[in-house]
Amino acid sequence: MAATYDFPSDLLAGQEELHQVRAELSALLKRLPWSVEPLDGFSDDNGWRKVERPASPGWSEDEQAEVEKLRRREHELAVFVSTHRYWSELTGTDRVQCRSALKHARESADEEESP
């Protein structure tokens, strides 16, 4: 059985928000055109595989601002989680295993709630 950890609530909340921000950023980037700046489409079959891109209208200022806001928040949360005082209580492999457990704490909680 895997070890269980008593994570502080602020650390759990930070990790959960980090998951949410990363999911939101990923979904946004998938919706946006492939190029930030307007660019013509291209086709290149000289490499090991053919690469094609349609013309890109680029990102609007609002879209660029939204991506920047999410990236900045992602960075803030990653720093908060990785430098949390809780980690100073652990050493070596315990810290590594605990960090991995934190990343999956949401999944574990979901499994415990399911009948």
CA distance readout (Å), 95 to 28, 36, 82, 86, 105: 33, 39, 11, 10, 15
What integer is the mean pLDDT of 67-81? 98
* pLDDT per position as a tens digit, 11-31: 999 999 999 999 999 999 999
Angle at 6 between CA 99 and CA 104, to 5 degrees: 40
Task: Give backbone dihedrals phi and psi of 52, rounded to 5 degrees, phi first.
Answer: -130, 140
Q: What are phi and psi of 53, to 5 degrees?
A: -140, 135
Q: What is the pTM of this model?
A: 0.83
User: Cα(78)–Cα(91) distance, rounded to whole angstroms?
Assistant: 20
Can you give the pLDDT at residue 109?
A: 61
